[in-house]
Amino acid sequence: MIAYGENIKVFCGNSNPEFAKIVCKELGIALGGSEVRTFADGEVSITLTETVRGCDVFLIQSTCNPVNNNLMELLIMIDACRRASAYRITAVIPYFGYARQDRKARSRDPISAKLVANMITAAGADRVLTMDLHAAQIQGFFDISVDHLLGNPTFVKYYLSKFPEDQYNHDNFVVVSPDVGSVSRARAFAAKVHMGLAIVDKRRQKANVCEVMNVIGDVRDKTCILYDDLVDTAGSLCNAAQAIVEVGGAKEVYACATHGVLSGPAFQRIQSSYIQEMVVLNTIPLPADLPCSKMKQLDVAPIFARAIAHIHGGTSIADLF
């Protein structure tokens, strides 16, 4: 725990207040007082109940479901702090929504990730702190500083503890990328846990629907760890698990993803899939009445707290990687 003076303030919206409380506990400060309300017509209203004049302000808000409400809360909080003469405003966005719309895949498509970056900058943010953007180049969409944390050190620590190195042969394990687009992050993870790498090649027919075509790499009779940056409807992940078991002949399948978006039939799909355990980070809160016994969540709030401490103190965050 690090104790700070009055010149640092942490506030949060409605997206993940428990996460913000853990961050403040790690920092040794109280969560800033604010009132976040929604009027009957859907308009968002923010009131800060304590001064931020001259303060180094950190606003914690994941832009998860309901995405647009949470995004507006963040933008209005930034504007409120700017108009209240905060010294510096850092938008702490554990999960950055709209990140999957990072390029023009078809004619006349928007690049929504760039639009959201522009909105955050225009609202008055001086800095952004986030984790595992869907595409790392989104950092370049911002005209302000971006600190991009990685989730894989947390997963590395978890799996090396779950499967201690002196109790198993690394040749019996393999990290699997559920699609070609996730190969680079899966390769980085595989290198850290000293395991082999395989890839599931799929052809997506339409949004949220995919067809698995082939398994590239040797997974036969091995324990596989599917690794991705996020899991939404879980269609891709569960199809990949089915392919590496039924086509590749894998012994068992575990899965992990930084952001548990978990929309629609995701919980039911994971529960009925070949996946033995699905691990996500708490960048997005899980529902209290979790309808899936295979889910496990790891806490990265202390990592964000350390990053905030470094930013506030003007020191490098390199040790977090």
Residues forming the active site:
202
Tell me how far apart the terminal alpha carbons of the chain are, to the nearest angstrom.
20
Is 259:284 a contact under the CB 8 Å cutoff? Answer: yes
Q: How far apart are CA 56 and CA 282, in angstroms?
A: 25
Residue 7 structure tokens: 């010149």
* Residue 295 DSSP one-character state: E
Q: How many residues does the chain have?
A: 321
What b/e sequence results for 41-70 when a residue is b if at least 16 CB atoms lie within 10 Å of its CB, and e otherwise? eeebebebeeebeebbbbbbbbbbeebebb
Quote the CA–CA distance of 194 and 206 in Å, as a whole number: 35
What DSSP character marks residue 282? B
Q: Other CB atoms closer than 10 Å to residue 195's CB: what's the count?
A: 22
- Using CA atoms, how far apart are residues 101 and 108, in angstroms rounded to an integer? 13
Cα–Cα distances in angstroms (integers) from residue 252 to residues 17, 173, 264, in the given order: 36, 10, 25
Handedness of CA 125, 18, 27, 192 (dihedral sign): negative
**How far apart are alpha carbons 200 and 43 in whole angstroms?**
44
For helices 112-123 and 67-83, the axis angle rounded to 10 degrees is: 30
Among 160, 178, 198, 172, which residue's Cα sits nearest to residue 255? 178
